[in-house]
A and B are shown apart, each in its own frame.
Chain A
């Protein structure tokens, strides 16, 4: 079976432009996570979807960031009016859920975003 896939693998954009990053989780996984990995900050949690519940958005750094998950499967992370500090690798993960104590997260290869 396929793992978590993300697209694009690389994205270069100009400051002020909007970008959309896509994540396809493992089929049957009800939980989906977005993380950001940047130099000096390590890996940071952004947002978490579990089934049809309202997402946990507590990690989103500003209101320029939003995410949605359609049909309980594919997710899109949108960054509006990108800034240079948004440059990072954005990682998506999925897990079977909702057995939080033992749930292993499976990560995609990430999207490397560069804001010029």
Chain B
């Protein structure tokens, strides 16, 4: 059973469109992280959400932590080709980092 389920798994959109990626679990987390990874590189941390209901913005990216701290979403406004990549949510257990299934986003010019 996957601890963190992400949807959609694959997403291909046109430049300028908006999109939302979801990360869900049946467990409650003290915090949740979002990463973006490009091919052949390590993941890069985008944000950490800690408080239930918390909303954080990073330019055109909006991250939300569910009120019950079981789920999170990532919304991208006016997507650009440079947003293409693998988006991963992740949680920590002790010092271990466990990733969700990932969402492969392709933004076409």
A and B held together in a complex? no
Give A residues with C-beta under 8 Å from B.
none
B residues near A, CB below 8 A?
Answer: none
